Structure 1
Amino acid sequence: MTSITFTVPGTPVGKGRPKFARRGKFVTTYTPEKTASYENLVKLAAAKAMDGRQPIDGAAQVSIWLWVTPPASWSQKKQRQALAHEIFPTTKPDMDNVVKGIFDAMNEIVWQDDKQVIDLSCYKRYSETARAEVKITQIGVTA
């Protein structure tokens, strides 16, 4: 079984909706800059973790931990409670949008396509250091 683990530093970013712009007579779509920047950060971390290996073949199991910092506007007591996991982050970014961005960024680097993922667990918690921790395990080969 092959496993790949990496950490994406900084606050996790949800995949933004495509934007549209008129260019003369044409309308073009583009990815929001914040989304593109975060996906590039994921690609760099994933490529470093792969260390030149080929993308995994077959089914994959994924575990993602999203760590966000408590708001600075909160009292010290409330921040301590958040860091002790007595309060949970129920604000943006939406977990599913972050996962979509991370998965899209790993296409053709960690796996051929994110359709290979058959098991997913994702958690969002408070931490002093914002980051996303990703673990991918190959659990089968292509049928």
Structure 2
Amino acid sequence: MEVRFTIRGEPKGKGRPRFCRNTGHAITPKDTVNYETLVRTEYSAAYPEFKFPDGTMLDMRIMAYYSIPKSASKKKKASMLANEIRPTKKPDMDNVVKIIADSLNQVAYRDDTQIVDCQCRKFYSETPRVEVIIRSIEPK
């Protein structure tokens, strides 16, 4: 089985938790909470009733498309759209993977420990978004 869905907007990374000195509790940044909700919403809209079975090995592919800086010249913009120049800016790809994988816990699969293979690629585009593909891997 394979699922594909898109999260519109600029790619976001998982934010570091902040700790409250008084209580010692970790507080997740609002940006992270909002983006995780958006990821869950987009998945649920595309696959309202589907969740990979527990124990299924999963392969996740993430294509993060960043917006082109307004300051880019026409020549540089063309190179960015042709994938000759790719983003070397934040968020880091590991944080993009983390926010997507964590968001889909209990929604697309029981736990992100089921993901045994993962790839994240960064590109520029005039329509910033994150495209996600999740496939089940059949044991050999």
TM-score w.r.t. the length of structure 2 is 0.91
1:1-143 to 2 correspondences below 5 Å: 2-22=1-21, 25-57=22-54, 58-140=56-138
Q: What CA distance in whole angstroms lies between the structure 1 residues aligned with 2:23 and 2:83?
A: 50
Is the 1:55–1:110 contact (alpha carbons within 8 Å) kept by the matching residues of 2?
A: yes
Deviation per residue, 1:1-24 (Å, 9 max, x gap)? x111100010110101001234xx
Q: Alignment length, in residue pairs? A: 138
Secondary structure at the aligned position of 1:7 is classed as: strand
Q: What CA distance in whole angstroms lies between the structure 1 residues aligned with 2:5 and 2:35?
A: 14
Secondary structure at the aligned position of 1:73 is classed as: coil
Q: Considering only aligned residues, what root-mean-square deviation do their CA atoms show, in Å?
A: 1.4
Q: What CA distance in whole angstroms lies between the structure 1 residues aligned with 2:113 and 2:23?
A: 32
In structure 2, the CA distance between the partners of 1:11 and 1:56, relative to structure 1 (3 Å rule), is farther
Which of structure 1's runs of 4+ aligned residues deviate more than 3 A?
Answer: 54-57
Q: What CA distance in whole angstroms lies between the structure 2 residues aligned with 1:127 and 1:19?
A: 32
Secondary structure at the aligned position of 2:25 is classed as: strand
Is the 1:3–1:137 contact (alpha carbons within 8 Å) kept by the matching residues of 2?
A: yes
Deviation per residue, 1:11-49 (Å, 9 max, x gap)? 110101001234xx4233211111111111101011122
Q: Which runs of 5+ in 2 are unaligned?
A: none
Identity of aligned residues (%): 43
- Superposition deviation, residue 120 in structure 1: 1.1
Which one-letter code corresponds to 1:115 in the other structure? T
Stretch deviating more after TM superposition (44-53 or 89-98): 44-53
